[in-house]
Structure 1
Amino acid sequence: MNPSPPHPAQLIVDLGFGFILSGALATATELGVADHLARGPQSPAELAKAIGADASALFRVLRLLASVGVFIEDAEGRFGLTPAAELLRSQVPNSLRDAVLMLTQKIFWAPTGELTQTVRTGQTPFDRIFGQPFFDYLTSDAAAGATFHRGMSSLSDLENGLIARSYDFNPFQRVVDVGGGHGGFLIEVLQSTPTLQGVLFDHPHVLAGSRLATAGLAARCEHAEGDFFQAVTPGADVYVLKRILHDWNDEVCVNILRNCRNAMASHGRVLVIDTVIPPGNAPHGGKVLDVMMLASLPGRERTEAEFRKLLAEAGLQLSRTLSTPTALSITEAIAA
């Protein structure tokens, strides 16, 4: 039986207070509360002593988080882990600790606070707040960049296998993961399709962190240095663009897609792996992510019709869109 929806007035109030929950979650995560509770429930005083915090303030933050299922308070006033809180531990499979620290850092928080001006002008305030565009800032601020890349890897590791197994790569011989980072998705693709050869394409400083050799796939995959704004490795059957196009405006996306179209074999495919926003009023992760992109980056999440238009301008034709068990879909394109 589904719970009754909140009263309209309560819904508005709860949404208005949403940033408080984000702040509380970020604080508990940064202080490592979940790691300290791995040994069992502890009182706020015990926790505060261990992490160097004020016991009363810590209690109030944990009480709030317990009310929404992150941590649980027992009859003795001790706090313990819930299944959600387990994901905030640093050394567990599928940990989301790095993802929380990324999503709640100032590169997203500060521009969202000026969303009204963004809606008025259509321009992100990111450059003005931080003095340079998003990716330039991550390059210049080593700490922010490290937090971002760890967080993205954390989120990607949850989804990579599910997405890779949602597409049949068996008919193909060579796949290029364009802007593929440290190779997390390509590892899953190669492991699911033993006959496939791979190319991890990215900037040299990114490829330095490649995980392909550690995964035992060095013999089946090469590293290719380059800039996808200029060109990509030619001659492959499949070009993957996972979480790439949503970072950029339409003009830039058409350029990236055209570079893939020019490089691919005649029978090739381009796979765009991003959210595809469905019609209607139902909740969808892409709608939240789209407003975050609006605030901080020049990109956006797109509908199927918007992807079809981009692909056509790049000399490609949308052949099908495949759902996956994640928030992302696979939009497949062939030569027009």
Structure 2
Amino acid sequence: MAVESPDPDASEAARRAAAVVIDEAMSYVCAAALRAVAATGVADHLAAGPRTPAELAAASGVDAGNLRRVLRLLATRGLFAEDAEGRFGLTEAGEALRSDAPVPVRAAVLMITDRTFWLPSGELTRSLTEGTSAFDDIFGMPFFDHFAQDEQTAAVFHDGMAAMSEAENTPVARCWTFPDEALVVDVGGGQGGFLKAVLRASPTVRGVLYDRAHVLAGHRLDTRETEGRWELAEGDFFTSVPPGDVHVLKRILHDWDDDQCVTVLRNCRRSLAPKGRVLVVDAVIPPGDDPHQGKTLDLLMMVSLTGRERSQDDFERLFRAAGLKLVRIHSTPTVLSIVEAEAEAETEAD
């Protein structure tokens, strides 16, 4: 079938619209360029200031000419800046790519652009036409099963999640008042970054970090500020959850489908102390067309896992099915919200 040529009499507005769409179609190259500089540690060699591509290439072990081309593109995204002498330096945003940055994101970049997300994203059409994740067909098994047998990939994921969470843990932990002497169970809490932030923000609180054994092995709770106020608990949140006054589920429910989420929430409800609370810390998708990081994360969940980012109505439905009710949604300075729930009276959900 022949491809029609553009209408020579098309309006300037129509031509601009076409150019915008073409730019959008090529935007994935920026993510690829960002991954390349993160993987090769380029930003670490700019701590002392701008350097030429040749100097950076020698320090990073990469090709100077191609490095310049990559940095030139990323400079258009505000991560690097080229000076009049052709040297490249880090912008304020780009500083976060350094391994020693106050809030380093290099590991998060490597996780988000890892092949476990990248390859299924290239098969997003399949998710539209078949209504399912492309991950299983590409990797031969579900997302977390793949991690269970691939230690290197699992490390990328857990280190990346820890890095992604680092910027948000403290501000989120300060947005909800944890009761004095409460026992807080961080369900699926990974390396414990959020629980550590909670313990720091609430000096009378005690905590339990609950996850699989291989994840707990990399925990980061052993600090002077948290000494004597935490313990580790190994288990599977689809089977049970340790007793506590507050159960926290940070970036957990978005990994799973509705039925799986209800199972986890019911387990929380069963082991929740009287007048206890369940705090779901996830993006809450707002109505309207405004940009929101949760809308992008939602597609990553769609192509690689069985989960999704959810709206307030979605959370209310999950809670009702689990014998919980939504109390309030607390906004935070981050993309995440704290969705607070309490137990309903005894129902058939038990």
| Structure-1-length-normalised TM-score | 0.95
Aligned to 2:296: 288
1:198 aligns to 2:207 (yes or no): yes
Check the 8 A contact 2:200/2:225 in 1, yes or no: no
Aligned to 1:104: 113
Aligned to 1:115: 124
1:248 aligns to 2:256 (yes or no): yes
In 2, distance between residues paired with 1:62 and 1:194? Answer: 45
Aligned to 1:146: 155
- List structure 1 segments (4+ residues) > 4 angstroms apart after TM superposition: none
1:323 aligns to 2:321 (yes or no): no
Aligned to 1:67: 76
**How far is the alpha carbon of 1:172 from its aligned partner?**
5.8
Check the 8 A contact 2:180/2:204 in 1, yes or no: no
Aligned to 2:3: none
Which amino acid is the alignment partner of residue 41 of structure 2? G
Check the 8 A contact 1:87/1:95 in 2, yes or no: yes
Q: How does 1:1-336 map to 2 (within 5 A)?
A: 7-170=16-179, 173-234=182-243, 236-336=244-344
- Larger Rg belongs to: 2
| Structure-2-length-normalised TM-score | 0.91
For residues 218 and 205 of structure 1, do their structure 2 counterparts lie closer, same or farther at Cα, with a shift above 3 Å needed? farther
**How far is the alpha carbon of 1:151 from its aligned partner?**
0.9
SS of the aligned residue for 1:265 comes to strand
Once the two structures are superposed, residues 91-111 of structure 1 have per-residue CA deviations (whole angstroms, 9 ceiling, x without a partner) of 121011111111111111100
SS of the aligned residue for 2:93 comes to helix
**How far is the alpha carbon of 1:39 from its aligned partner?**
2.4
In 1, distance between residues paired with 2:322 and 2:181? Answer: 22
For residues 195 and 52 of structure 1, do their structure 2 counterparts lie closer, same or farther at Cα, with a shift above 3 Å needed? closer
Check the 8 A contact 2:180/2:205 in 1, yes or no: no
Check the 8 A contact 1:172/1:238 in 2, yes or no: no
In 2, distance between residues paired with 1:173 and 1:81? Answer: 43
**How far is the alpha carbon of 1:278 from its aligned partner?**
0.8
**How far is the alpha carbon of 1:171 from its aligned partner?**
5.1
Which amino acid is the alignment partner of residue 320 of structure 1? R
Residues 46-55 or 16-25, more deviating: 46-55
**How far is the alpha carbon of 1:188 from its aligned partner?**
1.1
Check the 8 A contact 1:70/1:85 in 2, yes or no: yes
Identical aligned pairs, as a percentage? Answer: 55
Which amino acid is the alignment partner of residue 238 of structure 1? V
Q: CA RMSD in A?
A: 1.4
Which amino acid is the alignment partner of residue 58 of structure 1? L
Which amino acid is the alignment partner of residue 342 of structure 2? I
SS of the aligned residue for 2:209 comes to strand
**How far is the alpha carbon of 1:72 from its aligned partner?**
1.0
SS of the aligned residue for 2:69 comes to helix
**How far is the alpha carbon of 1:335 from its aligned partner?**
1.1
